[in-house]
Amino acid sequence: MKSYYKNYIERTFYLAKKGEGNVSPNPLVGCVIVKNNKIIGEGFHEKYGSNHAEINAINSVKDKKTVNQSSIFINLEPCSHYGKTPPCVNELIKLKPKEIVISNKDPNPKVNGKGIKKIKEMGIKVVTNILKEKGEKLNKRFFNSIKNKRPYIILKWAETKNNLIANRKNNSKWISNNLSRQFVHKWRSVEDSILVGASTVEFDNPNLTVRKWAGRNPIRLVINPKKRLDNKNNIFNKLSKTLNIDNINEKNLKKVIGSLVEKNIISIIVEGGSFTLNKFIKNNLWDEMRIFKSKKNFRGGLAAPKFNYEKKDYKKIFDDQLFILFNK
């Protein structure tokens, strides 16, 4: 493997990440075109339904003839099928590059090696698996939706020093500090959806939108058995789309949550309440936990979700501690 491969693949990761919050359910993809050790074109997938990264990179090159015998770097195998856009692999082949260097093979059954095979059949060198694990982490939501046929699930909550998620009046607001809350709004802006239970809506009446960060609002999912909530709650305002989930119970939890992939929802951030979070934990239905630990104490109240974890490694956000755990 040539030493510079990693450098240019790293550049594709950087470009791909610019599409966060705008391309789902498509993956994050960046593309770099290099000729004589110089970048002559680059692009990324900017918005779902629009040009893919490879086409944007090609379009950034003024003289398309210069792409001939160049090296093209992409973090994900180019598509080989017709979707909302034509196959990118066909456009790449037309330009006759000397090699195409890829981080990850696309697990989508419509692609899954077909793009790589087509490139090789045209006599173009293909190099794969460059920074493979890092590429998979970048597109963990997309890879998970294909592999596990369900959304990538992040459980998030804030708890007091004495392990409470709400006070005696069931008020859970402002346990964490203002900067921590800004982090949460940033997270919301890049996830497809946000989920809460009916009790959280009744007690907190949240908007579940992005207010402390620039970005689009996630789809709001509310577990609303027997449709006990009414349209007066903020979660049903016009700031974002809301989906009622009223046919759910512990027996069909995995099936109902999995079916959301069919609605192009490939990531969920679950923000409460404690009952709902505990159900996801009990069913081992999660990929990440993001837990804020505050210095505040409540004199009685609702216990935080029950989960044992090592409280050693954390990020400091002023006077809050942020623990991020991954389900292995």
Distances (CA, A) of 314 to 163, 175, 221, 291: 16, 17, 29, 10
Mark whether 46 is an active-site residue. no
Closest alpha carbon to 301 in 160, 196, 190? 160
Rounded to whole angstroms, how far apart are CA atoms 21 and 167? 33
CA angle 14, 217, 201 (to 5 degrees): 135
Residue partners of 210: CB distance under 8 A and separation at least 6? 185, 188, 189, 216, 217, 218
Q: What are phi and psi of 49, to 5 degrees?
A: 95, -10
Which residues have a Cβ under 8 Å from the Cβ of 220 and sit 6 or more positions away?
A: 193, 194, 195, 196, 208, 235, 240, 241, 242, 243
Considering the candidates 10, 20, 42, 54, report the single residue annotated as catalytic: 54
**161, 191, 320 from 180: Cα distances, Å:** 15, 17, 7
- Quote the CA–CA distance of 100 and 102 in Å, as a whole number: 7
The CA distances from residue 138 to 101, 207, 228, in Å, are 17, 29, 39
Tokens of 124: 């173009």
CB neighbour list of residue 5: distance below 8 Å, 6 or more residues apart? 73, 101, 127, 130
Strands, E assignment, the chain: 30-35, 38-44, 71-76, 99-104, 125-127, 152-159, 164-166, 193-197, 219-223, 242-245, 267-272, 288-293, 302-303, 315-317, 320-326
Q: How far apart are CA 276 and CA 199, in angstroms?
A: 9
Residues marked as catalytic: 54
